[in-house]
Amino acid sequence: MSKIIVFGAGGSVGRAAAGEALQRGHHVTAVVRNSAKHQDLEGAGVRLLAGDVTDTNAVAELAAGHDAAIMAAYDTGAQPGVFFTAAAHALLDGLARAGVGRLVAVGLAATLETGDGIPLMDTPGFPQEYRPFCLAHAAGTSVLRASVTALDWLIVSPAGDFDNAGARSGRYCVAGVNMVSRISHSDFALALLDEIEAPRHHHTHIGVEGA
């Protein structure tokens, strides 16, 4: 049994991750920007707190006493290019100060590399309207990759896309980028929690799809 903090617990992936952690017997701290809007998250085994994942001091204070962290947050009111890099810096510094050893963050399939070693977002035909958001995500990843830290971080992306209406199958597999693949939020949460309970990938970015 561990203590796991979930940043962005109010979103679809964050909720699924918090639920999976709770089901496995872990103690969960669910962090959201506005706790008044997510009172349904709080219950036996789940502590609901308001916090800003881009604030190093807030991250350190919130994460103290936890064993692992999940990053599933995004502020739609923030500039993506600012949010993801600020969050990466705050998590690196704040989790280190709190003594948290493992970070599993949610990423984008578009920033995964194809078989040719090229990020999907750089391949011909990729929708350019999504590129700024993808570049912002990639910038946050670059902050993690450039860090010299004891924090054992991992980024997990859907290999293709989320199946927003998909049910839990209880299965998934690690896969390269594949835009026709889909994975439910519940099955994606399995991958996140498996990488916390029994880490297999370290300081890298992987994709997962439904099996």
Which pLDDT band, with edges at 50, 70 and 90, does 149 fall under? confident
Distance separating the N- and C-terminal Cα atoms of the chain: 27
Q: What is the rounded distance in angstroms from the CA atom of residue 44 to the CA atom of residue 147?
A: 36
pLDDT in tens, 74-87: 998 889 889 999 99
**CB neighbours (10 Å) of residue 161?**
14
Which pLDDT band, with edges at 50, 70 and 90, does 35 fall under? very high
Averaged pLDDT, 63-77: 95
Query: Superfamily for 3-209?
Result: NAD(P)-binding Rossmann-like Domain (3.40.50.720)
Averaged pLDDT, 4-31: 97
Confidence (pLDDT) at 134:
94
Q: What is the rounded distance in angstroms from the CA atom of residue 203 to the CA atom of residue 166?
A: 29
**CB neighbours (10 Å) of residue 149?**
13
The pTM for the full model equals 0.96
**CB neighbours (10 Å) of residue 1?**
9
Confidence (pLDDT) at 77:
84
| Torsion sign, CA atoms 16, 191, 2, 25 | positive
Q: Which residue reads 């017997």 in tokens?
A: 25
Q: Is the pLDDT of residue 88 over 80?
A: yes
Averaged pLDDT, 138-151: 94
